[in-house]
Every structure is written in structure tokens, then in C-alpha cells.
Chain A
Amino acid sequence: MPTPGRPALPSAAPATAAVSVNALLLHTAAKPLLFAAALLPLALLIVGALADTLGANPAEAMIRSTGDWTLRFLCLTLAVTPVRQWTGWHALARLRRMLGLFTFFHGVVHFLCFAWLDMGFDIDAIVRDIGKRPFILVGTAALGLMLPLAATSFNRAIRALGAKRWQALHRAVYATALLAILHFFWMRAGKNDFAEVAVYAAVLSLLLGWRSWRWIGARTGT
């Protein structure tokens, strides 16, 4: 973003760098590599569970780790557009859908770990727990909000909805981000331990704050 009173960033050197990064991002191997990398955390977790290296409470370790990775992928997904603007790595755009779907994927695995490892797939207990624990309700809502986004992530859905309506629908990801961070905050509230929550909250504030600043800027025409 141009800041009043300051010169624009020098353009020559970053432009060359941006071009080479874009070339890398456009490489045919970029998507398969990202796909493999995005599956790595879960793969390592499963290996850890089988090898019994997840500590004294492997169920808790799996639930927490999958939750962490959902948040991380959410941050990565939301970072695509700002980072494109800041760096000129516009080819990042082609990875955004995969990142978004992996956010949903990790959210689903996180929920399944909770439903299976914590609740033993006891539907009654799961429903009661969602009603009882605000932070579980909020987390479930965050996941529920991602469902229509994941379901309309393919090209034909975009065409069928029309770009405008598709985009409007996919703004629900901002609500998911707010619910996700509230979920994490509430979960940690018991221990009054917000150090990690603060890191994610700062990253999400930056990413969402940048968007609202730009939006306000566009509305007021500055």
C-alpha cells in the first residue's frame, strides 16, 4: 500500500525477484509439491500414533495438532491475496484453492479426532458436548461455515454461481477466521495461557485488517 509522504518502494530489484518466484510458482511441480507438503503433518501424526511417540495422551496430541494445522492453513489461505499485493507473486493465486481445501480438510480431521478419540463416535455425547461447551460450538460453527465454501470450490460451481455471488459466498471465510480464533482463545482461557493464541490472532488481524483498510480506502476513494 502506498503510504502518504513516502516514496514508492524501489521497483527494479524486487520485480526481478518476483518474476523468478512467479516462474517457480507456475512450474508444473508446484501444485503436486504443495499437495504432498500439506499432507505431511497428518502423515507424521499417524506415524507418531502408530509408533506411540505422541506422549502420554496421544488422543489429546492428535486433536490439538490437527487443530493447530487447521489454523495454520487458514492463515496461509488468507495470506495469499495480501502477499500477492505486497510482493507481486501473483502466481500464488493458483495455489489458493488448494490451501483453502486443505484448511477444510484439516478442520474435518480435527473434528473427526474429537468425535472419535474424545467422544467415541457417541452421537448423543457429541451433540450434548457441542451444546455444553461454547468453544466446541464455535469450532463446529467455524467448520460448518467452511462446508459450502469447500462444496463450491470447483470451476463449474464458480460458473454456475457467477463470480460476484461466488465471491460474496466465499467471504464467509472471514467469519470462519473469527470463529476459529475465538474457539482457540476459549479453549486456552481455562489456563489463562494466551501466548499462542496471540500469535494466531496477530497474524489473522494483520490479514483481515489489511483487507478492511483496503476496503475502507476503496469506499472513501483515497
Chain B
Amino acid sequence: MIQLAKRAHVQPAPSEITPRAVVLARRQLLQGLGAASALAALPGWAQVGAAGKPAALPGARSAVAGALTMDKLTPHKDATGYNNFYEFGTDKSDPAAHAGTLKTRPWTVVVEGEVRKPGTWDIESLLKLGAMEERVYRLRCVEGWSMVIPWVGYSLAELIKRVEPTGNAKFVQFVTLADREQMPGLRSPVLDWPYVEGLRLDEAMHPLTMLAFGMYGEVLPNQNGAPLRLVVPWKYGFKSGKSIVRIRFVDKQPQTSWERAASNEYGFYSNVNPTVDHPRWSQATERRIGEDGLFAKKRPTLMFNGYEPQVGQLYAGMDLKRFY
């Protein structure tokens, strides 16, 4: 007894600890096995699986620094039932209720502007362009709530490298689908349609900036931006355009939809920043959906949504109060 108690306080010898690399390799192997069997069981990237559930879309654990947060995952029903996608209505239950009308096949993405290889990409070719990775990102909405979502996709840089931006390409503009037939929210004059977002080229090239095709190991549900969307984890959620149809490389900073709607409230950068408040509310704290109880205090928001070690250098020397 005494000896046991004593032993409990003894530091393990370095040789007794399994090296981190070995643990990760083991994990990856197990994950790979799971992914392989899932792949074998399903006929490729069918849009919808046999039971009407979205088809599986597995991804290997990402090796990109910062891509796998340890935070607890948001329940699937919350991440797919509570979000903003104004093309289907402004209430956060609207996308899940109305996005059934979105047709995700056939789907093409036009890549144009300051690139040597402009062209139209079919969704099937984009799905095969890069190896699918699973990345667990924090998502912070500008409204003050947050989630933790396992996305499936690859770095946008994979596509950017293929299309070879010219020296004039300084910014990337993302245009999302605006089809009145499929999207009832377009009848509302909330924003100028189509919804347009943008990134600086170096932001777009950052390995954490992701082109996502799936979440929770399945293809994206319509309400979350099927068949492909952007995910930029250190910026407020609205920067991550859904159901993208056009990617344009430009030399001047493009005006985004939210800048056009309210330039005093939404800037081009829109980096998550607890020290720069929205004009109408504080950004210092957030409510983690599905995890923090009704009476729990809100948690502090992290600089760049916790991705400061990875992306902080992109903004070195910039006045983030001015470039909000």
C-alpha cells in the first residue's frame, strides 16, 4: 500500500512514455482502417446514401498545424439545425427547414480573373483534386455563439496552386449561388444577391483555409453549404461562403456583401477578435452551442478564434481596430 502510494507520485521515466509520434501514428492507422471500411461499404460519393442519409465522406486526420482542436464536438443536430444561410431565410432554423430545394448536382465552379489557368471545374473533379482530410475547427459566429465542427475537405491552396495566380492576383473573391428557384430567401432584400465574400491571397493560401465538402464524416447537408463551401476558422463565420459557384482572383480588395450592407459594422477582414467589439455588441465572450448549459457563463472568445499561433503573422503590424 505504502509503496503503491509512493509510486503514484513518482514521475514516469522518459523511456516509459509512449512517444507522441507513435500515439498519433497508431491513431491515424485506426482512423485509416475505419475510413477504408466505410469507403468499401459505400458506392463512392453518392449524393445520398441508401437510408436517405447523406453519403459518407471520410477524411484522414489532418496534419496541418492547428487543424485538430481538442474541444468537444458540437452535436450533429445543432450544427445542422441552427445556422445562418440567408438564401434560405434569416432565422437560424430556416436553412434546415428550406434547403431541401437546393440541387447540388450537376455543380460547377468557375475559376477566373488573374490566373494563368482559368476554367470551369466540375464538382466531381474538385472532389478528387486533393486528399480528403478531417479537420476539427472552432467556428465563431459574429452573433456571439460558437460551435466545434469536424469538416472534411482540403486546403484551398491545393486549388489555388493548380490555377496559377498571376502577379496581379492580390485578393480572392468568392461568389455563392443565387437562384430564386432553389432559394426562397432571395425574395428578401436583406442583402444584395449573390452573396459575395473575399480574402487576401495570403489568407486564401493559408493551409488552415479550407475547401470543405463534408462534415461529421458525411457529405455536406444542403443547409451547411453543399456541395462545397469555404471554412476560414479564424474569421467570423459569415466569411466562409456556402455553395460556392465562382472564385475570382482580383488585384483590388473586393467589396463583400456585408460591407455593402453595413460597412460600419462589418469590415473586410472580420477576424475573430475579442478586443474589437461589434458596434452593437461585445465580442469578448461567446456561447458554445450544445455544450454550455442554459445558466452557464459565456466563455471568453480567443484572439483569432484560438488560431493566433498559426495566423497571427498574417496581420503583423496591422491596426486590427482599423482593419476590423
Nearest-CB residue, chain A, relative to B285: A125
Q: Which residue of A lies closest to B142 (CB)?
A: A190
**A166-196 toward B: CB 8 Å interface, digit per residue (1/0)?**
0000000000000000000010001111010
* Contact status B282-A132, CB under 8 Å: yes
A-side interface mostly? helix
How many angstroms between the C-alpha atoms of A219 and B188 in the bound complex? 43
Contact at B282–A193, with CB atoms within 8 Å? no
Q: How many residues of B contact A (CB 8 A)?
A: 26
B117 at the interface (CB under 8 A from A): no
Does A31 sit within 8 A of B, measured CB to CB?
no
**Contact present for B294 and A59 (CB under 8 Å):** yes
B90 on the A face (CB < 8 A): yes
Q: Which residue of B lies closest to A128 (CB)?
A: B282
CB contact between A133 and one of B189, B191, B281, B289 (< 8 Å): that residue: B281
Cα distance, A197 to B296, chains bound together (Å): 30
Are A56 and B82 also in contact (CB < 8 A) when A135-B280, A191-B90, A193-B90 are? Answer: yes
Residue among B93, B265, B282 with the highest chain A CB neighbour number at 10 A? B282
Query: Chain A residues with Cβ under 8 A from B290's Cβ?
Result: 56
Q: Which residues of A37-83 are within 8 A (CB) of B?
A: 49, 55-60, 62
Interface centre among B77, B145, B289, B294, by most A CB within 10 Å?
B294
A contact residues around B92 at 8 Å (CB): 56-57
Q: Please give, as numbers and ranges, the residues of chain B lying within 8 Å of A118 by CB-CB distance.
A: 298
Compute how far the CA of A154 lies from the CA of B280 in the bound complex, rounded to whole angstroms: 38
Nearest-CB residue, chain B, relative to A62: B294
A119-B280 Cα distance, complex, nearest whole Å = 15
| A192 and B295 contact, CB distance less than 8 A | no
Alpha-carbon distance between A128 and B284 when the two chains are bound, in angstroms:
12
Contacts of A195 in B (CB 8 A): 188
**Alpha-carbon distance A217/B66, docked complex (angstroms):** 71
Q: Judging by beta carbons under 8 Å apart, are B191 and A56 in contact?
A: no
Q: What are 16 A-B contacts defined by CB distance under 8 Å? A: A49-B294, A55-B81, A56-B77, A56-B92, A57-B287, A116-B295, A125-B282, A132-B281, A132-B282, A133-B281, A134-B280, A135-B280, A186-B280, A190-B262, A192-B189, A192-B190
